Structure 1
Amino acid sequence: MAPKILLTAEQIQRRVKEIGQQISRDYAGKNLMLVCVLPNGFVFAADLLRAIDIPVSCQFVQPHKQSTPGDSSHVNIHYGSAFDVKGKNVVLVEGLIQSGHTTEFLLRTVLSWNAASAKLVALIDKQSARRVPVQADYMGFILEETFVVGYGMGDPEYGRNLPYIQGEAR
């Protein structure tokens, strides 16, 4: 079966602009930091950063989930460089939320580092895959496809450069 386009580049860009405007309004006059969750969030974070019209800093984390028998929620976080969130309003930028384990861990971690606040923005939310109660404060789209490719998401070898998002059977 051929891949099906789920979201066009135009739909994505329109929604990213709307989210950027909302974040700009919500954080006007506040110390805002975006924390991009790699790898799926990098294209979304870049476009969102440009859509925000207030001062904002940006950092990156790359979580690695390790499953062990009886514990599927152990997460290690790797940083491009050390950064300080103390007193900052952090918005975690996810390209895709599925089970929510990693996202929930990252939000708790940011708050434990004494951030003023921690919110979540996600381009794609697969709510049917959720295993922990985590909700995006800013959401692009709800999609329930089993595997999405494009706009920075998908296989490392294929499709991350697509300007749209397509669904593929796996």
Structure 2
Amino acid sequence: MKIKYLLLILIPFFIILLNLNLLIFNHNLYINEVNENLINYFNNKEELNFNYTEVEVIHLNDVKFLINLSRIIVYALGILILLILIIDRDISGILIISGIITIGIIILLFLIDFNFLFTKFHEILFMNDYWLLSNNTLLIQTYPMEFFISFFKRLILNIIITSLILIGVGIYVHTQHRPGAS
């Protein structure tokens, strides 16, 4: 029974990080060669090719580390969740409740001022102030605040869609395992 409570925490976290990773590497969001270079840099396929300041490079190294860490966490959570679901096949309720919890978390995040979330996100995840860049830097010119607002909205939409699919699968599994279900 305690394993099910663990899943109620792990699955929403997994859904959020999975969608974040999928969106970060979605080439359709990025339209110029600076962006392509950054995606390839984050994927360990090439080095930074543009004239970033030393502070920008430090920040991009920090971002790359966090992206790689989140990718490892997504894989580990995915494997752990699958193993738990293999052991305990009564998953319909877990899927439904996890989807609802995830949507609840997203609604709460959406209700909070984006600038506040953006600042707190950086203060929590970065151990330095290198994310506080000047407006004339290449990084800020390439990724203005509007980019992050749009990214956040798309992330929220993707997470809600994933959660609704999870709820739908949970309902389907529940109806298939009822006595007399065909």
- Give yes or no for TM over 0.5: no
TM range (shorter): under 0.3
Structure showing greater relative contact order (alpha-carbon pairs closer than 8 Å, 6 or more residues apart):
2
Instruction: Indicate the structure with greater strand content.
Output: 1
Normalized per residue, the structure richer in helix is: 2
TM-score of the pair, normalised by structure 1? 0.27
